[in-house]
Structure 1
């Protein structure tokens, strides 16, 4: 009986200091000043945002009336403007749709659940159910894509599915990069289904 009481007291003597140690480690410190997390608010919010990109063949002067050509139209339910920060950007928290027109005015469509446009680097980060549909029926689906506006180059290191109805292929893979109109496509790792048409003689 005395040894079991001794064991109980020993266990209490071990457990009590350990419990006090864990409770003493709780972080109740209120951060202020430089170490406090700073809340960032947009300098402006636009509802039913529409941005039209145009270009001209020749540079326009101050009095010129030459016509311009629409090359892209970006629409989004909400756009948040953080251009006042040291590294400025614009977000599209409720998704976006980008209509892109080629030199023959044929439209391709890009859709995403979320987007960030970085002003200094001209990089667009598209996230969540990203879908690109070209005018000729090609379709690319990915959870995330990056678009380099300066080089008109799209890339990702994540998973993707590429469907090409012209040759009946469906390609799945990880990591790829390609130009804006999908005429050059380089996949890093692929696996998928390809239909081969056989000519009968």
Structure 2
């Protein structure tokens, strides 16, 4: 009977070691299939001015920029944040700050993350943790919680989209106090 116990134990132990060996080989094979994901370009202390027909449309300041233009879905990353000033046709400014930003080539979308603050010269301020900017339509949007402060009052909500000058605002699930006396 002791022979059958040893045989039974051997049948249990051998497959276990085989699984460990296969698992180890599988992880090595996975590693071999990974390509190096490194930026094709890198820049420090960015101060970029975008002009159109001799007019400044935007000024972008960032401590670091990483360019991933050679990957399958190209993008530019600002891992240490951005300070962006947008100008309208009349020279009015909108200010955008975020701890991290990614601009996706071919989509005209910028993903702003971490302590995102957007304000204008009229005293409007929106604060959230993530905000997208559609550059083509000059439109901001998020489904995250936000705080909107204006000279009329403060409101809170979850989900908002608005034009870069705050003239058109669509908000969802809002609460707060707004002065309607004007």
TM-score bracket relative to the smaller structure: 0.7 to 0.9
CA contact (8 A) 2:94 2:121 kept: yes
5+ unaligned residues in a row in structure 2: which ranges? 1-11
Structure-1 separation of matches of 2:147 and 2:30? 48
User: Of Structure 1 and Structure 2, which has the larger fraction of its residues in helix?
Assistant: 2
Alpha carbons of structure 1 residues 36 and 163: separation in structure 2 relative to 1, 3 Å: same
Within the candidate set 10, 24, 27, 1:28 is matched to 24
Shift of 1:48: 0.4
5+ unaligned residues in a row in structure 1: which ranges? 1-16, 57-67
Structure-1 separation of matches of 2:167 and 2:32? 50
- Structure 2 residue aligned with 1:112: 98
- Structure 2 residue aligned with 1:96: 82
User: Of Structure 1 and Structure 2, which has the larger fraction of its residues in strand?
Assistant: 2
Structure-1 separation of matches of 2:158 and 2:30? 44
* Structure label with greater radius of gyration: 1
Alpha carbons of structure 1 residues 139 and 103: separation in structure 2 relative to 1, 3 Å: same
Within the candidate set 49, 53, 56, 1:52 is matched to 49
- Structure 1 residue aligned with 2:36: 39
Structure-2 separation of matches of 1:33 and 1:153? 41
Shift of 1:197: 5.0
- RMSD over aligned Cα, in angstroms? 2.6
Aligned residues: 169
CA contact (8 A) 2:94 2:164 kept: no
